[in-house]
């Protein structure tokens, strides 16, 4: 049986460790933006890293790579991008990456950045585990940097098409702020109101709100609900004009979140 470990870092980052077999110390590190908390965690839990998985090029996801590689001589998997020279093994959409007894399927998710990918792993019991980087967050999604709104919308639609029981291991603890924004769009969404209570209690206990499950995101994340009339009307009220397509609704929603 696999185990997923979480390492909090900076003010709101999560680095994930994938341990394919809890009987063995081998693990894979996802998006280590800082080496020290990873070193500390590995030592405390007596884990042995076997590789690093990168989702995109932002510094809070890659700045710890060099130190970890220098210490452990690890392979680094990630997208082919001049902004990530640390990558030693390029992966792309459709590739399968063996991770001990597990296997990761690579999804291309351009939008937040053009080089963004995600790692989709089938757990031992069949549950899909998605390491989504900064594409999909709990109750939110990533900002647009060098990508575009249509690309990010398409990336989120790709995620939305995954099985409803998919667990989302996002890279940041943004949940409560995302819920506050979501409630400006759907203030009467009962699932969202209940989620605010649940996630607030978790954070009061210093517990992560991740992973989240895709079925919950479909009920509470406005960026996955652009096809609904409630979201359309709310976005039109914010923008002051009629919007025709779901892509336009998404783009307006992302701009509103940027200014929130």
pLDDT above 90: residue 214: yes
The span from the CA of 228 to the CA of 222, in Å, is 9
Q: What is the pLDDT of the chain when averaged over all its residues?
A: 97
Higher pLDDT, 240 or 78: 78
Active site residues: 56, 58, 60-61, 112, 134, 172
What does the pLDDT read at residue 149?
97
| Confidence bin at 224 (pLDDT 50/70/90) | very high
| Confidence bin at 239 (pLDDT 50/70/90) | confident
Secondary-structure class of domain 3-258 per CATH: alpha beta
Q: What is the pLDDT of residues 132-141, one digit of tens each?
A: 999 999 999 9
What are the boundaries of each domain within the chain? 3-258
| Confidence bin at 160 (pLDDT 50/70/90) | very high
pLDDT above 90: residue 27: yes
Q: Give the number of other CB atoms < 10 A from CB of residue 52.
A: 26
pTM of the model: 0.97
């Amino acid at each position: 049986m696999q185990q997923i470990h979480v390492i909090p870092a900076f003010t709101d980052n999560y680095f994930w460790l994938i341990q394919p077999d809890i009987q063995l110390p081998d693990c894979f590190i996802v998006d280590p933006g800082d080496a020290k908390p990873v070193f500390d965690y590995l030592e405390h839990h007596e884990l042995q890293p076997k590789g690093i998985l990168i989702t995109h090029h932002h510094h809070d996801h890659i700045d710890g790579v060099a130190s970890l590689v220098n210490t452990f001589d690890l392979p680094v998997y990630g997208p082919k991008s001049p902004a990530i020279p640390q990558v030693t093994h390029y992966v792309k959409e459709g590739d399968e990456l063996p991770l001990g007894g597990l296997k990761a399927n690579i999804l291309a998710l351009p939008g937040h950045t053009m080089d963004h990918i995600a790692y989709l792993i089938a757990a031992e019991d069949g549950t899909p585990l998605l390491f989504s980087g900064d594409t999909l967050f709990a109750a939110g999604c990533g900002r647009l940097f060098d990508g575009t709104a249509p690309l990010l919308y398409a990336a989120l639609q790709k995620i939305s098409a995954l099985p409803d029981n998919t667990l989302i291991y996002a890279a940041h603890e943004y949940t409560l702020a995302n819920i506050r924004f979501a409630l400006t769009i759907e203030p009467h969404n009962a699932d969202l109101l209940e989620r605010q209570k649940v996630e607030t209690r978790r954070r009061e206990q210093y517990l992560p709100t991740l992973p989240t499950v895709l079925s919950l995101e479909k009920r509470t994340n406005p960026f996955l609900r652009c096809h609904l009339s409630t979201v359309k009307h709310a976005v039109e009220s914010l923008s002051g004009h009629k919007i025709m397509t779901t892509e336009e609704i998404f783009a307006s929603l992302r701009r509103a979140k940027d200014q929130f």
